[in-house]
Amino acid sequence: MTTLSRAQLVDLVENRYFGNVDAKRLEPALACFRPDATLGIQTAGVFHTGEAAIRRMFTDFFAATQTIYHGDYSHIVDVETQSIASQFVARNTYADGRTAEMRNCNFFVLRDGKFQRVTIYMSGANPLV
């Protein structure tokens, strides 16, 4: 069983996950998830389970979004349970010219060093359909 340190959990969220999402690097972003993971947007009642569903969601999001930014992070980390809660700013510019800025909170639960469950609370409209 892989156990990540506090620094490794923060690095996974900020750099390996959001850094690759912001750069629209699909494969490295997906590599953060277990094949049977669930990514849920709790505030929209939308859930994506399994590699194919999460891949499709990111593929559609990347195609519809010109620029993606995540930053201004605040984390609460629990090494013992391999979980991290992250609050951050999300800024998107969409292909049609619209922009959105939200203050979101994600809850990440890991198993063997990868995301098993990601629960997202968004302050705006859900672009992850």
Give Cα 98 distance to the centre of its chain. 21
| pLDDT value of position 37 | 98
Number of domain units in the chain: 1
| pLDDT value of position 128 | 86
CATH number, domain with residue 36: 3.10.450.50
**Alpha-carbon gap, residue 38 to 119, rounded angstroms:** 8
Tens of pLDDT along 5-26?
999 999 999 999 999 999 999 9
Give yes or no for residue 106 having a pLDDT over 80. yes
Give yes or no for residue 48 having a pLDDT over 90. yes
Domain membership of residue 84 as a residue range: 6-121
Tens of pLDDT along 49-105?
999 999 999 999 999 999 999 999 999 999 999 999 999 999 999 988 999 999 999
pLDDT band at 47 (very low <50, low <70, confident <90, very high): very high
Instruction: Decide if 10 is inside a domain.
Output: yes
CA atoms within 13 A on the CB side of 29: 18
